Amino acid sequence: MFKSVGLVARFDKKPALRLAESLSDYLKSKNLEVFIEDSLCGKVNTKAKPVSLKNMKTDFIVTIGGDGTILRTCVAIPKPEPPILAINMGVRGFLTEAEPKDAYKAVDRCLKDDFLIEKCCKLAASTDEGAIPDALNDVVVSTGEPSKILYTQIFKDNEPILRCQADGLIVATQTGSTGYSLSAGGPVLDLDVDAFVLTPICSLTVFRSIVLPADSRITIKAIRPKKMLVLIDGYHHQLLTTETPTLTVTRSKNMTSFIRFKDTFYDRLRNRLLFKGMG
């Protein structure tokens, strides 16, 4: 039984902020302890307790926005992560579950324990300078400068497998295979495929995506230039400038859990990703 809830909303859409306000009041009326992301203070009129994402230790979280709102939430919230009910106020909202008009009905189903949990694997990344946040979608490396080639050596389980000359590289989960990796020409991975995908960005060499077992240990070493920008889910970034900038990616022990009602992965793929564009 849920007793506490966190609310996260995109900042740039007034309807998202207004829905956050009304959902806060509604959840309070259901006797839940309600917390709201502290960056929304001053933007919404609510009696919910402000808290930073890194301190949002609640029984579940409601995000109001698109996939970007979900990703920035998952990068920052404490581990293990509480389940997420995602209300779609994005462009595609591939990862979301309910439309705004169904938000109250979705919340009621959560409170009645009438839902399923979809667990999504994450990637753990570490650098010469230590660990960085896990990725739900992808870990991307580049030089950090547009159109500047990154020369890398790639290892699988400490064995060299190839050299790559490209604008960058994407290591994506099953979830992330529908995002940047797909746009770069990578395949879509079924959620039941225990794997992740390595996709180059504008490769100069004859190199397309490689699907790798999820228990693989992938190491990327920058040959030149002697720097490498690491980007986690589009939100956390870290510039490596050691003698041989090195990134290691493995399966994370953490997972992201989504509250689902009926739509399957392929329903979302057909209805939101393959046939829905800018709106």
Catalytic site positions? 67
Beta strands in the chain (DSSP E): 4-9, 33-37, 49-51, 60-65, 84-88, 116-127, 130-135, 138-142, 150-156, 159-166, 168-172, 195-201, 210-213, 218-224, 228-232, 236-240, 246-260
What is the phi/psi pair of residue 63, to 5°?
Answer: -105, 140
**Distance from C-alpha of 120 to C-alpha of 165, rounded to nearest angstrom:** 31
Query: CA-CA-CA-CA torsion for 279, 257, 218, 53, nearest 10 degrees?
Result: 80
Q: Please, is 97 exposed, middle or buried when counting C-beta atoms within 10 Å of its C-beta (0-12, 13-18, 19+)?
A: buried
For Cα atoms 227, 170, 97, give the angle at the middle one, nearest 5 degrees: 135
HSE toward the beta carbon, residue 261, CA cutoff 13 A: 18
**Distance from C-alpha of 83 to C-alpha of 74, rounded to nearest angstrom:** 10
